[in-house]
């Protein structure tokens, strides 16, 4: 599926009243914006239990079995395709430089320019021959022919240059011939090996997009038949979820079982690492669609409204397609594909440098803690991570060991007698958070993201998911050592609903507007904003 543009951030959606069903191109666009605005409003304070997103909902035996059977090491298609392009670049450049060297051709600006031109035309011709599509990558013979044809065209470009310019004075024809032969051999061998790997990944379920149909009946059956008829379709339908009773929504639709209601879907989506939710409900039923989305948008997942029965014509920016089947894009999964690769690479590089630079501070802190009170230097606490997974977050111990509160049953307050002298200083300066750099290297935290909260964190005897509607939407990305909320002053004690409400609002803004530059800005501002210790104790 290709999407021409991402769904506008929820916080930037236009406000408009519901006036009736969407039937034209403009109304389809308006529908998406109205739904996005309603989802943004879902972060307003209130009874969080209404959202049905609290973890731990029981699944049916069938849903349990399917969730257990699905692998957790999926491969992103855009990342795979980009990696294959990189492999082609390496092979063409390496064989070209080796051929020039073997034939004694001097390395000049012209020869390096020839290699660069070869790389450009190779990628262009291979793209024109669809040599990077997964359906082609899985077929050894099909892609071999495309690769040979594209690479031959590159040689033809050089042949024309040899005849029409004085290029032979700088590059010997023997070098070009050797480059063609060695390059073709390298490209073909690599693609044959790749075809076996891709076929294996497809068979094992690693190279697919897992989808769940929301809503049953004949509309869902028609959609499933259309999806399955699309050539090169990478969608794997894992089941159907519907709140309606079996007399209105059959237990089996087009061969797929109904696995439960919408509350069960939220839990299934997390545990099965579903990629996409397809809401198969007529777009004119806006009220019911909105009720479903208010429960589902907290998942780190793509949400699409099926429009195959509404016969609409869409602007590209309002829709996406699987083959020829149209969908309205409502929610985009944040930080995916190459964005995820870039963020992870950034985290590893910066966290490694930070550990080296701050190692004297961490060593001095560890010594001070041991001298100040008995007990271990580090403190581990269970907190919510990405997708509501429970993770162990490291901190320097700031409390007396026998008064430690790993379950976060009691919030630390000003002058708290449980906090040691050293602990009070490292909490105010946030030095106690430095061991979380090792969490970053381990992959459970990111440098920047919503701060991970303790599992039992609460205010006024209410857990925070009960205080803030849509609270768990902040877990659609990895939590961070620092975040947009913290540098805007929302850190420290949370003793009022407003404080956790503001944290969630800033966290969701970060998720919707993420970029590497945004991460760099937050990291640069963090040391400055830490000077404000008003709420940290």
* Per-position pLDDT tens, the chain of length 537: 333 334 334 433 322 333 343 343 445 556 566 666 665 555 444 444 444 455 666 788 888 888 888 877 888 889 999 999 999 999 999 999 999 999 888 888 888 998 999 999 999 999 999 899 888 898 888 889 999 999 999 999 888 888 888 887 888 888 889 999 999 999 999 999 999 999 999 888 888 889 999 888 888 888 888 888 877 678 889 999 988 777 677 888 888 888 988 888 888 988 888 889 998 877 667 677 777 887 888 888 888 888 665 554 444 445 677 766 777 777 888 998 899 999 999 999 999 999 999 999 999 999 999 998 888 999 888 898 998 889 999 999 988 877 776 666 666 667 778 888 898 888 888 899 999 999 999 999 999 999 998 777 766 666 777 777 778 888 899 999 999 998 888 876 676 778 888 888 899 999 989 999 999 999 999 988 876 656 554
The DSSP element (H or E) to which 310 belongs, if any, is none
> Quick check: pTM over 0.85?
no
DSSP notation for 318-329: GEEEETTEEEEE
178/466 Cα distance (integer angstroms):
69
Q: How many CA atoms are closer than 13 Å to the CA of 34, on its beta-carbon side?
A: 18
Q: Cβ-count burial of 389 within 10 angstroms (0-12 exposed, 13-18 middle, 19+ buried)?
A: middle
Q: How far, CA to CA in Å, does 394 sit from each of 130, 438, 452, 456, 472?
A: 47, 8, 11, 17, 22
Two tokens, residue 412: 């630390």
479/487 Cα distance (integer angstroms):
15
Q: How far, CA to CA in Å, does 203 sit from each of 124, 190, 197, 393, 526?
A: 30, 20, 10, 36, 46
The answer to whether residues 5 and 302 touch, using CB atoms and an 8 Å cutoff, is no
Count CB neighbours of 44 within 10 A. 11
Closest CA to 504 of 5, 51, 16: 51
Q: For position 296, what pLDDT does the model report?
A: 84
The H-assigned helical ranges of 373-476 are 421-429, 436-442, 464-467
Q: For position 449, what pLDDT does the model report?
A: 95
The answer to whether residues 31 and 342 touch, using CB atoms and an 8 Å cutoff, is no
Q: For position 440, what pLDDT does the model report?
A: 97
Q: Measure CA 511 to chain center.
A: 10
Query: Residues 6 or more apart from 327 whose CB is under 8 A from it?
Result: 1, 278, 304, 305, 306, 307, 319, 320, 321
Q: What domains appear along the chain, each with residue ranges and CATH number?
A: 2-55+206-333 (3.40.50.20), 77-204 (no CATH), 338-529 (no CATH)
Two tokens, residue 50: 């209404």
The answer to whether residues 507 and 490 touch, using CB atoms and an 8 Å cutoff, is no
Q: Can you tell me whether residue 155 is helix, strand or coil?
A: helix
DSSP state of 16: -
The answer to whether residues 119 and 191 touch, using CB atoms and an 8 Å cutoff, is no
343/336 Cα distance (integer angstroms):
10
The answer to whether residues 403 and 418 touch, using CB atoms and an 8 Å cutoff, is yes
Own/partner long-range contacts of 131-136 (Cβ < 8 Å, ≥24 apart): 132/81, 132/84, 132/85, 133/81, 133/232, 134/77, 134/80, 134/81, 134/198, 134/202, 134/207, 134/232, 134/234, 135/231, 135/232
465/467 Cα distance (integer angstroms):
5
468/448 Cα distance (integer angstroms):
22
Phi, psi of 215, rounded to the nearest 5 degrees: 105, 135
Q: For position 350, what pLDDT does the model report?
A: 95
350/437 Cα distance (integer angstroms):
9
Q: For position 461, what pLDDT does the model report?
A: 66
Q: How far, CA to CA in Å, does 371 sit from each of 365, 393, 424?
A: 10, 23, 15
487/535 Cα distance (integer angstroms):
12
Task: Name 329's bridge partners.
Answer: 304
Cα-Cα-Cα-Cα torsion 508, 513, 519, 522, nearest 10 degrees, comes to: -60
Count CB neighbours of 283 within 10 A. 22
């Amino acid at each position: 599926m290709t999407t021409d543009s991402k769904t506008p951030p929820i916080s930037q959606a236009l406000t408009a009243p519901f006036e009736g069903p969407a039937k034209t191109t403009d109304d389809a666009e308006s529908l998406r914006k109205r739904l996005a605005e309603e989802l943004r409003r879902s972060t307003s304070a209130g009874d969080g239990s209404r959202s049905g997103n609290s973890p731990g909902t029981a699944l049916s035996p069938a849903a349990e079995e399917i969730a257990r059977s699905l692998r957790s090491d999926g491969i992103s298609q855009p990342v795979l395709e980009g990696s294959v392009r990189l492999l082609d670049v390496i092979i063409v450049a390496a064989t070209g430089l080796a051929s020039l060297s073997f034939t004694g051709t001097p390395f000049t600006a012209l020869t390096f320019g020839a290699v660069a031109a070869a790389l450009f035309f190779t990628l262009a011709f291979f793209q024109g021959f669809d040599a990077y599509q997964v359906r082609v990558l899985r077929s050894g013979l099909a892609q071999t022919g495309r690769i040979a044809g594209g690479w031959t065209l590159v040689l033809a470009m050089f042949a024309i240059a040899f005849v029409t310019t004085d290029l032979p004075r700088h590059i010997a024809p023997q070098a070009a011939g050797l480059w063609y032969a060695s390059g073709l051999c390298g490209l073909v061998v690599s693609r044959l090996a790749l075809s076996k790997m891709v076929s294996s990944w497809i068979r094992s379920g690693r190279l697919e997009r897992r989808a769940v149909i929301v809503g049953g009946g004949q509309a869902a059956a028609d959609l499933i038949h259309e999806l399955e008829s699309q050539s090169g379709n990478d969608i794997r339908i894992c089941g159907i979820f519907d709140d309606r009773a079996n007399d209105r929504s059959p237990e089996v639709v087009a061969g797929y079982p109904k696995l439960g209601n919408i509350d069960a879907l939220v839990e299934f989506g997390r545990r099965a690492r579903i990629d996409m939710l397809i809401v198969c409900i007529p777009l004119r039923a806006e009220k019911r669609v909105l009720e479903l989305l208010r429960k589902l948008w907290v998942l780190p997942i793509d949400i699409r409204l099926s429009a195959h029965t509404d016969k609409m014509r869409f602007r590209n920016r309002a829709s996406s397609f699987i083959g020829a089947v149209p969908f309205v894009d409502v929610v985009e999964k944040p930080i995916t594909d190459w964005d995820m690769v870039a963020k992870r690479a950034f985290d590893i590089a910066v966290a490694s440098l930070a550990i080296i630079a701050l190692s004297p501070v961490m060593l001095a802190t560890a010594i001070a803690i041991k001298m100040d009170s008995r007990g271990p230097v580090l403190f581990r606490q269970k907190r919510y991570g990405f997708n509501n997974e429970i993770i162990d977050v490291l901190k320097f111990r700031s409390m007396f060991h026998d008064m430690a509160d790993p379950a976060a049953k009691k919030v630390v307050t000003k002058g708290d007698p449980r906090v040691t002298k050293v602990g009070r200083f490292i909490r105010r300066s946030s030095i106690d958070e430095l061991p979380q750099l090792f969490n970053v290297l381990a992959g459970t935290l990111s440098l920047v993201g919503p701060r991970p909260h303790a599992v039992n964190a609460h205010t006024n005897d209410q857990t925070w998911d009960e205080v803030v509607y849509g609270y768990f939407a902040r877990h659609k990305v990895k939590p961070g050592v620092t975040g947009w909320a913290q540098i805007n002053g929302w850190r420290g004690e949370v003793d009022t609903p407003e404080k956790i409400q503001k944290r969630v609002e800033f966290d969701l803004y970060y998720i919707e507007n993420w970029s590497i530059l945004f991460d760099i800005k937050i990291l640069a501002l963090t040391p400055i904003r830490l000077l404000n210790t008003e709420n940290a104790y």
